[in-house]
Structures are given as C-alpha cells and as structure tokens.
Amino acid sequence: MPLRPAQVFFSYSHKDEAYKQQLEVHLTILQRRGLLKSWSDRQIIAGQNWQSIIEEQLEAADIVLLLVSADFIASDYCFGKELRCALERDERNETKVIPIVLRPVDWRDAPFGKLQALPKDGIPVASWPNQDEAWLDVEQGLRRAIEELNETKFRNTSTSALTSIRDVLVAEFEHLESTYTANHSAGISSDGIATGIHDLDLLLGGFRSSDLVVVAARPSFGKSDFLVNILGATAITQNQPVAFFSLQMPAQRVILRLVASTSEIDSQKMRLGYLGERDFPRIAAAAGRLVEAPIYIDETPRLSIAEIRSRAKSLRLDKEIRLLMIDSLQQLTAPAGADSAVALKALARELKIPVVITSNISRRVERRKDKRPVFADLEESGNLENEADVILFLYRDEVYNPGRDNWDELDIIVAKNRNGDTGISKRTTPLNPQRSVTSCLPVKITLKLRTTENHKTEILARVTRSYTRQFPEINARSVYHPGPPPLLSKESKSA
C-alpha cells in the first residue's frame, strides 16, 4: 500500500533561513516520492492574515520540525506560540514534534529537551565536519518518522481500516483454537501476557494487547512490588521484553527488589547486609537470570506522557517490548486540563501492547468502616474508571486489623475486567504458600459476603466447590503456581 504524504510544518527563526533552505533541498527526494508536503511561513501571500494561516497550518500538521538555534529560542513567537501549540498537539497524539539542532545552543532544559532530536545525538548541523552527512541523517530520521505515522496514525484513520465480518470471524476462530490449546497446556489465553499469578491469569487471561491496566491502592500496600514481580515473571520466565518507567524509585532499588523476589530472600536483609552463606549462591543465581532478561528501566522522574510515548515507541521499534509498566500515575506531568487516563489508553492502542500503571487512591477510604477500595476512590486520578480495561485494587487486611491471622494475605480485587469476569484473588506470601485460601470470587458474590457470618460461610463453600469444578487447576489449599517469581518481595516473617 502506498505511503500517505505527511504534512510537515517548519518552525524556525528567519535568521536561520539559509539552514532551512538547505534542509528543503535534502528533503526533495522525499517530496518527489510523495512522502511529505512541507509548509513554512514564507508561503503566506501578501494581504493574508499571517497569524490565522500559521495556526491553521499548525493544526493540520502531522509533523512539526523545530529548527533549533539560539535565535529560535530567543524568538517569542517561535518559542512561545508555535512551540506551545505543537507540544500540546503532541501530548494529544495529534502530531509529532521533532527538534532539528542547527547551531550550538543549550536546549536540553527547553520544553522539548527530552524529545529525540536530529541529527544523531543532537549534534548541531553546524558542528558536523561534513554537513551533507548531517542533513542525510536528518532526512533518514524524518523518513522513519513518516513510515511510523503510516503504520499508526494514517492507517487507523483511512478507509482501509474497515474489515469485513468474514475476515473478523476467521481470525476469531483461529484465536479460539489457539486459546483452547493454550488453556489445556498452561491454563491461560495464548494472546495474554501472563502475570505469574496463576489464579489471576485464569480470571484475566493475562494482560492483553492494547489494554490499559490500573493497579490501585493506598500508599505502602505493595503496588511497586506487585509490578516488579510481574516484571520478573514476564521478562525472566517468559523472556518477553518489558519497559519499566520508575518515576518514584531509582533503578538500583528496582533491581534490588527484582533480585530479592527472584532469589526469594528477604529484601530487608539484603538492604542491611544481614546475609548468610547460603544466601549468596541464591543471589548469584538470581543475578545470572536477571542479567540476561530483556528488561529496560527508565528512572527519569516526573516524565510527561508525551516523553514516555516517545521513549516507549523507540523501545517498541528497537527492542520489540511486549509490556509497558509505569510507576506511578501521580508522578506523571500533564498540561492543565489534560486527562492522563485518555492519553494512556491511546498509548496502549497505538503501541498494541498492555500498559500497566500504578495509582494511589483517595484517603477517604481511611474514614470508612469497610476499607476495601471501590471505584469512587479513583475520583482524584482522572478518568481511570472509564478508560481502563482492567482495574486491580490491592488490599491488605493486616494494615487495618493487626493481630488477626492475616499478616501474609493480599487481596487482589479485580474491580473491572472489560473482557471477562471480575472477582477477588486472595494470595499469601510465596514463602508460606500453605496459608492460601480460595480465589476468583465474582464481585456479585463478594457483595453478598458482606452480610452475616453464616451466610458468608455458606456462600464461600458453594463458590469454592463451583470454582474447583470449573477450574481444576485451582486448589483451595494452595493457589501459588510454581515457576514464576514470587508475588511480593516483602520479607517472609519466618525467614
């Protein structure tokens, strides 16, 4: 299928007119092939309202090229009006902003400073010994950007995206056949990324392509550990490339938790150095598995969704990542009025991989008698309730009811599952699996469990029998599935 031409807008200072003309010359090959149509304010006709024309062209642009120099940064209109409009549209995935560094200038702290720049490594064109090589690098980078647009934006908005019901049915029956085979061998759907938590995978079918998954809880309930363990299960056990954006913890702490969960050694003992001779071989073995795992960690704090999108798209193309994880929503930066949930769902659809993000919930839960999270507790986190495909609430009863026989239990409440059932998955720490109880209680039954104790016991027994018949893999005494890394790196109190 022929590539659709991209509308390219030049944002530049007129003092860099000579550089702009050189760039246009080197882009001639792309124009002749019908890959781009360029526009700059030099094309405004006398008598036209230049400001409205520029705004119209900016709104229509598929790619905005920022020709960066000291004069560009000094220009109030370029750096203020045009740049602001371009970055807002980039945040909404409506355009792609590409800085092209013309002359030496300190631009790293500019609003576009974290975007991938051209030429290679952001070396100014004027600093290249051979400027033709610099322009060639720019042309090649722009060609790749246009090809990527045709793979995502243009393809999704063209009539070729229409599919006949015959094609959909054929693909769906092929999917059903592969799922049937996978369910008999592994117990989960073949197209989902397994979490390593067996009963949760039975309920969700793994994290599915283009899904936005939210893991929400109050602070210190284990959200980061939950993600880290799924990261290990995906990258180590399944050898699937994963990108982990850690906006709260440095990469060193993420890796320490990975080593702790993989080696099943108390993470607190590792931090303090209280290790025995038997621990070091286990740590070495865990490190050996991790060093070969396709894990890519970005520890940059306070990233915007546009920055994450740019980096994730590069990882998707270069490393073929299958899962994107972000910790956490509250650490993301976003323009005023922008809804992060909408942008995150769009990112999952664009990359065609699951996007998993942690989120805090409202402190109002602390004032309720029933401390289990509900949808209303997400009100302060934007439109997550509507945009997310899967919402998992984490709840630890030991936090609110210390002294009970519940110190090692984690409730994973599947509050929303767009493609299947909802329910509760009860888990214990992996080092003491015999304390496990039954799993996968549907939400409607969970609500009934909040009545009398007699009614609770009766329903629990009935549900246990029902799920044991439906899913023989689930055992009421032990739902921990051997093989994947442990669920939590939280230390075992028996260690």
Residue 293 has a pLDDT of 92
- Between strands 242-246 and 295-298, the pairing is parallel
DSSP3 helix / strand / coil % (the chain, rounded to 5): 50, 15, 35
Residue 306 has a pLDDT of 84
The span from the CA of 25 to the CA of 28, in Å, is 5
Domains annotated on the chain, with CATH: 6-157 (3.40.50.10140), 189-436 (3.40.50.300)
The span from the CA of 321 to the CA of 302, in Å, is 22
Residue 431 amino acid letter: L
Residue 381 has a pLDDT of 78
Q: Do 202 and 183 contact (CB within 8 A), yes or no?
A: no
Residues ≥6 apart with Cβ < 8 Å to 129 = none
Residue 470 has a pLDDT of 42
Choose among 35, 33, 55, 53: nearest CA to 43.
53
Residue 411 has a pLDDT of 84
The span from the CA of 410 to the CA of 12, in Å, is 55
Alpha carbon 320 to chain centroid, angstroms: 14
Q: List, in sequence order, every residue forming a beta bridge with 360; answer none if it has no partner.
A: 217
Q: Which residues of the chain have pLDDT under 50?
A: 1, 154, 156-160, 184-190, 428-495
Q: Is 337 exposed, middle or buried (0-12, 13-18, 19+ CB in 10 A)?
A: exposed
Residue 453 has a pLDDT of 37
The span from the CA of 66 to the CA of 72, in Å, is 8
The span from the CA of 257 to the CA of 468, in Å, is 34
The span from the CA of 286 to the CA of 280, in Å, is 10
Residue 337 has a pLDDT of 63
Residue 268 has a pLDDT of 77
Residue 205, helix vs strand vs coil: coil
Q: List, in sequence order, every residue forming a beta bridge with 64; answer none if it has no partner.
A: 9, 97
pTM listed for this prediction: 0.57
Residues ≥6 apart with Cβ < 8 Å to 217 = 223, 360, 361, 373, 393, 394, 395
Would you give the end-to-end CA distance of the chain in angstroms? 61
